[in-house]
Chains A and B, each alone.
Chain A
Amino acid sequence: MRTQIGYLVGGGLKENFRVRLTVSPQEVQEGAFVVIESGNWLYYGIATDICLGATDPRFADEQSADRFPPQIAQALHGQTLYADLEVLPILMLEIGPEPGTAEYRAWRERLSEEPRPLPIKHIPPHHAPVRLAAEGDVFEIFGKPNETNFVIGYTREQKHPVCLNLDRFVQRSSGVFGATGTGKSFLTRLLLAGLIDRNQVSVLVLDMHNEYGYDDIASDTKQNVKGLKSLFPGRVRVVGLGSGATIRGQPPDFNLEIAWSDLQPSDILMLSRELDLTDTAATVLDALVKSFSLHEWFDRFTALRYEGYIDEQDEKTGKTRRVPHPESVEAWASENGVHPAAAKALHSKLQRLRNKPYLVEQPAADSVSQIIKALESGQHMILSFGKHETDLDYLLVSNLLTRKIRHAWEKKTNEFRSSGPNAPEPRPLLIVVEEAHKLLNRELASQTAFATIARELRKYYVTLLIVDQRPSQIDDEVMSQLGTRISSWLGDEDDIQAVLSGLAGRQALRGMLARLQPKEEALIMGWGVPIPLPIRSRRYDDAFWRELLGSSNKRSSSHIMKELGY
């Protein structure tokens, strides 16, 4: 049963509802999920502000408790001083007359479909009772926990389970945000565990700090934290970067090596800052592709000598001249109309890449294709960067891999769309991008595959899950394309604004975000979340793992076989 906390006294759709509290203001929190009942309708909203008031300011100014005996002081307090709740109304649901009555039957007959929660269009009258949502209300709005509805957390007041509809969640790109140390990676692990368990999409995690694959130790509790591979040994593969790489002392399932022939000028240009390229680089790269071809330019160019001279005799005069070695950069530059200094500059910077252990002339296996195939068949990949933790490594590999994957998915989608009605849909893919601001900032926004994916809105069955602590650094357009956002505490005003960009009721949510507890609390909002709600996040711990695996074990053997790729 719902606990009554007050009644409606004013406000509206534009400026939010005002509720007169009939309980102590200490019993209601900001962000409380409330239900307003009126006639045949229920209205759902969240409390966005709590403030004190008085029927006359003098009652508030003077302490009647001192002047009057307790009986009078209490009566005065109760009648002249009050607390109001500001409620952001969001949804309404038609529940009809009292069940069991004739009116109820008549109403049901008139319905063309089962009533669903709708965006609020009309408002309840004055004095409508306002109550805290009961568990049933939370289930009505957020869904009852089942295979599709994943419990992401609990309401703060009464600890009702709050679900995220995973199928909806993956229909758009999404984001997990929060300042450092607020539990972003836990939230992400939670989500990924749910998604992998649900197994409707394949997940590719770009694990910059090697956190997700194998077990870890929590920095504060020093407890063991299960990795995704421990939880789902049959479905999850850990990929290491470069042959011989180990992840946390363990060998990965296989290693990723990238052929030089895969490198494209756009990949290089994306690394302008890391490689400290000048403006001339673009022109040089253009010329390189023209002269060497798209697949050979890197190999051929970086193989050239930086400097070198030979003596050449002029056939006519017989005099010897010093000329650049034919295999030198200078020689090539003059041959192709490129400024030699520019070419030399690029050449020396590209050596860094050539020396990378994971960039090879001939990879041992086509690991990129392996990854793609595995994802297509329903496996989940965690690309751990091992010891290659620089921004350069992260940017290059992430972008290149994603570019190829997206290309593969684009191809599959086009095939699917042109083939008959019985063709299988491409397996949806979710790419988890850590430190997203490195890849999705304004500068790079136009250049990376990620930005493209974000803008494409799942056109080709690929979406992103951005994990980041500096959302203000992420390109605005990308942020506004995000559907679901889950955010822990953020301290920076700009970051808060960024997370809320494109959402209704921003002002109210702003305060809530800033006032979250530093750990274990988050605000869920955006597309796919019916009502923005602050929650106590579910713990990624023993209890969770047992529950998850327990439910997993209940599945049929045929199901399991299917998961293993058979």
Chain B
Amino acid sequence: MSQPIPIGRLLRAGTTAFVAGCRVNQGALPSFGALLRIPLEESYQVYGLIYDIHIDDDGLVRQLVTAESVAEEIVRDNRERRIVPVEMSVLTVGYEQNGRLYHLLPPRPPLSLDMVYLCTPEEIVRFTERLGYVRLLLQASQIPIGEVIAAHFLQVQAAHPDPQWQERAIHEIITLLRDDYPRLMAVLSALSEAIR
């Protein structure tokens, strides 16, 4: 069972994307491009990929930066102790029903207050075995798709280094974006950094 993100909850959700909030100190932030899952019912859970992490503008921090200097203790207090509200924008990439994974938009979106879990390496490997979800990823607009994919790549490789998976994934991306040259180049450029 994977680590639940403390007080991770859904703020708002649709079928293609949702926003989850959590209160963690900044050291424990979930990473950009991470794979999450939200169990809704006994045998149904939705999977998502973080494409934006937003830390709210904070009155206190704004104050602190106006001081002449900031003591080390204050810096550490803000980083390690203060609970900051973090909003994570998550793109839906699939769901699981009765033990079967589907790389499709889920029939029902997650609900408010549903707990959000970070996927374990095993769960990541299982979900990414087939590459149908890449299509959902690439369909999203107004997200830094290249960076998300690159971050996701790194995550998958960290979970289970497999050069064949990389090859298949690159292949899939090229096939799906073959007709959108500028987008494909942007994504591949970002990916180049990840696999260098």
Instruction: Find out whether A and B make contact in their complex, taking CB atoms under 8 A apart as touching.
Output: yes
Known interface pairs A58-B181, A71-B166, A75-B167. Does A80 touch B174 (Cβ–Cβ under 8 Å)? Answer: yes
For A56, list chain B residues within 8 Å (CB).
178-179, 181
Shortest distance from the beta carbon of B18 to any chain A beta carbon, whole Å: 31
| Chain A stretch 344-360: residues in CB contact (< 8 A) with chain B | none
Bound form: Cα–Cα A67–B190 in Å = 11
Bound form: Cα–Cα A58–B183 in Å = 13
| Chain A stretch 391-415: residues in CB contact (< 8 A) with chain B | none
| Chain A stretch 272-328: residues in CB contact (< 8 A) with chain B | none
Chain B contact residues: helix, strand, loop or mixed: helix
Known interface pairs A76-B188, A79-B174. Does A71 touch B181 (Cβ–Cβ under 8 Å)? Answer: no
Q: Are A71 and B174 in contact (CB under 8 A)?
A: no
Tell me whether B189 is interfacial, beta carbon within 8 Å. Answer: yes
Known interface pairs A67-B189, A68-B188. Does A79 touch B171 (Cβ–Cβ under 8 Å)? Answer: yes
For B189, list chain A residues within 8 Å (CB).
67-68
For A80, list chain B residues within 8 Å (CB).
174, 178
Q: Are B179 and A71 in contact (CB under 8 A)?
A: no
Q: Are B167 and A71 in contact (CB under 8 A)?
A: yes
B171, B179, B181, B196: the one within 8 Å of A75 (CB): B171
Q: Are B192 and A67 in contact (CB under 8 A)?
A: yes
Bound form: Cα–Cα A64–B178 in Å = 14
Bound form: Cα–Cα A79–B184 in Å = 13
Shortest distance from the beta carbon of A281 to any chain B beta carbon, whole Å: 77
Q: Encode contact with B along A47-67: 1 for CB under 8 Å, 0 otherwise.
A: 000000001101100001001
Q: Encode contact with B along A67-91: 1 for CB under 8 Å, 0 otherwise.
A: 1110110011001100000000000
Q: Are B174 and A75 in contact (CB under 8 A)?
A: yes
Bound form: Cα–Cα A64–B188 in Å = 10
Bound form: Cα–Cα A336–B166 in Å = 103
Tell me whether B170 is interfacial, beta carbon within 8 Å. Answer: yes
Shortest distance from the beta carbon of A60 to any chain B beta carbon, whole Å: 11
For B143, list chain A residues within 8 Å (CB).
none
Shortest distance from the beta carbon of B79 to any chain A beta carbon, whole Å: 35
Tell me whether B113 is interfacial, beta carbon within 8 Å. Answer: no
The range of chain B's interface size is: 10 to 19
- Looking across the interface, which residue of chain B has its beta carbon closest to that of A55? B178
Bound form: Cα–Cα A71–B196 in Å = 9
A55, A58, A68: the one within 8 Å of B192 (CB): A68
Shortest distance from the beta carbon of B161 to any chain A beta carbon, whole Å: 14
For A59, list chain B residues within 8 Å (CB).
181
| Chain B stretch 77-111: residues in CB contact (< 8 A) with chain A | none
Tell me whether B2 is interfacial, beta carbon within 8 Å. Answer: no
Q: Encode contact with A along B158-180: 1 for CB under 8 Å, 0 otherwise.
A: 00000000110011001100110
Shortest distance from the beta carbon of A539 to any chain B beta carbon, whole Å: 48
Tell me whether B191 is interfacial, beta carbon within 8 Å. Answer: yes
Tell me whether B140 is interfacial, beta carbon within 8 Å. Answer: no
Tell me whether B64 is interfacial, beta carbon within 8 Å. Answer: no
Q: Are A72 and B179 in contact (CB under 8 A)?
A: no
- Looking across the interface, which residue of chain B has its beta carbon closest to that of A58? B181
Shortest distance from the beta carbon of A177 to any chain B beta carbon, whole Å: 48
A to B CB contacts below 8 Å, 20 in the list: A55-B179, A56-B181, A59-B181, A67-B188, A68-B188, A68-B189, A68-B192, A69-B195, A69-B196, A71-B166, A71-B195, A72-B188, A72-B191, A72-B192, A72-B195, A75-B167, A75-B170, A76-B188, A79-B171, A79-B175
Closest A-B pairs by Cβ, 7 of them: A75-B170, A79-B174, A68-B192, A58-B181, A56-B181, A55-B178, A69-B192
Residues of B within 8 A of A (CB): 166-167, 170-171, 174-175, 178-179, 181, 188-189, 191-192, 195-196
Instruction: Known A-B contacts: A68-B189, A71-B166. Give 12 more (CB < 8 A).
Output: A56-B178, A56-B181, A59-B181, A69-B195, A71-B167, A71-B170, A72-B188, A75-B167, A76-B174, A79-B174, A79-B178, A80-B178
